[in-house]
Amino acid sequence: MILLNPKTQGYEHLDEKSREIMLKTIAFFEKKGKKSLKDDDHERVWYADFLEFVKQEKIFATLLTPPAYTDDKDARWDTFRNCDFNEILGFYGLCYWYTWQVSILGLGPIWMGDNEAAKKKAAQLLKDGEIFAFGLSEKAHGADLYSGEMMLTPLSQGKYVADGGKYYIGNANKARMVSTFGKNSETGNYVFFAADSQHENYDLIKNVTNTQNYVAEYALNGYPVTDADILSQGQNAWDSALNTVNVGKFNLGWASIGICTHAFYEAVTHAAHRILYNHPVTDFPHVRQLFTDAYARLTAMKLFASRAADYMRSACAEDRRYLLYNPIVKMKVTTQGEEVVNLIWDVIAAKGFEQDTYFETAARDIRGLPKLEGTVHVNMALIIKFMANYFFRPAEFPEIPRQSEPEHDAFLFNQGPAKGLGNILFHDYRIAYNSADLPNVKVFQSQIEVLKEFLVKARPTEEQAKDIDFLLNLGELFTLTAYGQLIIENAKIYKIGEDILDQIFDFLVRDFSKFALQLYSKPGSSEAQMQMCLKMIRKPLADPARFDRVWKNHVYPLADAYQMNP
């Protein structure tokens, strides 16, 4: 089964140490129990117990330290196993995932920088069980790196003083190294330096959210900095900022997958035991449709995200395809997570508000993930840059197998300049689509062909190209194409049956039609564009027998399959 079940998952696909980490983490949460988990959430308790567990087991140290900076033979940055850890933390609570995620972001500029002493310091802090923070965004400017007001003023003999504020910075109440982005006040050059949240010149102003997390506003007031604290400068600092976000935002999709999986178990179990009009709720056709749609979308989320990880792990200077697939994990998987929760919420209705359910927390937290590490709009603007090469200039690449080797993903911290996106080439997406001889895959292919025709015969005008609202819908159609491609590729690797794959493309055909209609309805769409959009609107091929098999063999058996320890 592709969905995580903590009670049955043995992590046989991992090496011994990695497997031990996953199982111990599950055991920690199951011992804590659902009631305690929910009580901490409602009372906004800082998760000191979880961080103490991480410290004792040296989990962050093992998962996030490059081999060159530790004597732990099991330590490495291994995206394959990190995906499993992401999923577990999301499954039990977004706050636990968040402190891990923000530590990843905080470590990015350290491992990408050229300050060896800072790297050794970070490795020791990880070993000591400390957490990290990423001081990028500011209250007035958000993540607009050009406009930041954090200034580092040179003094003499390798000494500086930092002044300025940062906003919405997770872990910034406890992190002993806060990777802080600013500018040299004399030269205007970008700089990353490490600050200590416990220093007297570090003003922790407040927690700006009402959650278990501490998402800080902090200010540096005459904060002393030396060369030993400088992580990178100039172009390297700029590249570290963007490349860190590229590495880190991928994790948000996995948090969504974990949240949705737990919520799904709880919802389908409730519905199977809920009797209305002398029938279990799961007897009603519309309920079966909602659950089956949610299951197909959740399965697709995990298939795409795990396949994107393969491209991330195999990336090199000559193959940066992951820079398309990565923001799709961030943008598409997280918005699909919202859709999954919406679908199952329509079934359980008022139950979803009850304070002792996991679902109550999931319904709140699932909304945040599309809005972190760059909004959907920001990531879509990035994705559109790849469209021309993806559709019209395919290149030859060796086939990428599943990347499950227990190896350090060194390229992620040595990516070079964060530019040249328009030069990245892709293999022919039709290879995947032509390999799946299924009714709804073929319908979806016909929609893609019309989209390509749209881009040739009715491509956006110069004015439309400046209209973000217009481009967002066009980008959604492109995103669905890449989404379906990687799902097909990974369905073969994970031996996903044809019934499930065709059910996935049932909703993909509907989604493609939805965005085509939205593009048709834009005020600025031309007559030619409108006609092309109408040609994209297709109905999936219904197969009641296939639907019943998916329901009976895959969806309904999840009722009572997992319940968290009380």
The ranges assigned to domains in the chain are: 16-131, 133-233, 240-393+422-556
Give the pLDDT score at 471. 87
Provide the mean pLDDT of the chain: 96
Give the pLDDT score at 483. 98
Instruction: Report the DSSP beta bridge partners of residue 184.
Output: 152
User: What DSSP assignment string belongs to 221-232?
Assistant: EEEEEEGGGEEE
| CATH class held by domain 133-233 | mainly beta
Percent pLDDT > 70 in the chain is 99
Confidence of residue 374 (pLDDT cuts 50, 70, 90): low
Give the pLDDT score at 417. 85
The answer to whether the CB of 311 falls within 8 A of the CB of 328 is no
C-alpha 143/C-alpha 151 separation (Å) is 16
Q: What is the mean pLDDT of residues 430-439?
A: 98
Give the pLDDT score at 465. 84
For 157: left if phi > 0, alpha if psi spans -120 to 50, otherwise beta; the answer is left
Higher pLDDT, 416 or 225: 225
Q: What is the dihedral of CA 563, 493, 291, 91, to 10 degrees?
A: 30
Q: What crossing angle do the helices spanning 498-520 and 439-457 adopt, rounded to 10°?
A: 30
Element (H, E) at 246: helix 235-273
Confidence of residue 422 (pLDDT cuts 50, 70, 90): confident
Answer whether residue 467 shows pLDDT above 80: yes
Looking at CATH, the fold of the domain delimited by 240-393+422-556 is given as Butyryl-CoA Dehydrogenase, subunit A; domain 3 (1.20.140)
The region of weakest confidence among 296-305, 465-474, 518-527 is: 465-474
Give the pLDDT score at 284. 97
Give the pLDDT score at 419. 82
Higher pLDDT, 420 or 375: 420
DSSP state of 253: H
The region of weakest confidence among 1-15, 153-167, 409-423 is: 409-423
Confidence of residue 176 (pLDDT cuts 50, 70, 90): very high
Confidence of residue 376 (pLDDT cuts 50, 70, 90): low
Percent pLDDT > 90 in the chain is 91
- Yes or no: is domain 16-131 CATH 3.60.40.10? no
Q: What is the mean pLDDT of residues 107-127?
A: 97
Could you report the per-residue pLDDT of 216-248, keeping only the tens digit for each?
Answer: 999 999 999 999 999 999 999 999 999 999 899
Alpha helices in 349-401, H assignment, sequence order: 358-365, 376-384, 387-392
Find the largest Cα–Cα distance for the chain: 82
Higher pLDDT, 85 or 467: 85
